[in-house]
Amino acid sequence: MPSPRLRGALLALLLALAPAARLAAQDSLPPRRAPEVQVPDSSVSDTAGAIPLGARPVSPTGALLRSLVLPGWGQAKLGRKVPAILFLAVEGVSLGMALKANSEYQYQRDTDPDHAHGKALEREDWLVILGFNHLLAGLEAYVSAHLWDFPGDVALKPVQGGGVAAALTLPVRIP
């Protein structure tokens, strides 16, 4: 087990190397808007006459399945680089730690079987984190694909006297 000082240094290094994410929209690209088709009001009763065409690169189910196979793949397909890198990094770390804990468990089992139970529990913990990462990545990709054409008009602005205020702009069409 690394010392607390070494763990702190590794965490600081990881945070220093992690790409900085923009808080405004988490993406520097312009908002993705689907083209609209005008439809007579008689055929559409609950909209303002415009039906957006689906222009997302992958369906929600496709994004879910991709991220269940390899965490971050569904996010990468949707153009969400920061979440894709984070899910892939957690996958790599937890997989590496699970393999390391398994190796230590086998060594402990061969040399001192009475004290091997702790390493077995550590291995199980890393495997649970691995499974949770797969599930969370899949769910996040599924929701992101559903919200593909949702306007991302969120702004953070400084307030006089200190602090930050958030504003959300939602376009409303009145027929």
| Residues 50-84 pLDDT 10s | 334 456 788 899 999 999 999 999 999 988 899 99
So what's the pLDDT on residue 15? 61
Q: Please, which residues have CB within 8 angstroms of residue 28's CB and are 6 or more apart in sequence?
A: 22
Helix axes 117-146, 81-111, angle to 10 degrees: 170
Write out the H or E segment, with its range, that includes residue 107.
helix 81-111
pLDDT at 12 over 70: no
Q: What is the mean pLDDT of residues 8-36?
A: 55
Q: Which DSSP letter does residue 113 get?
A: G
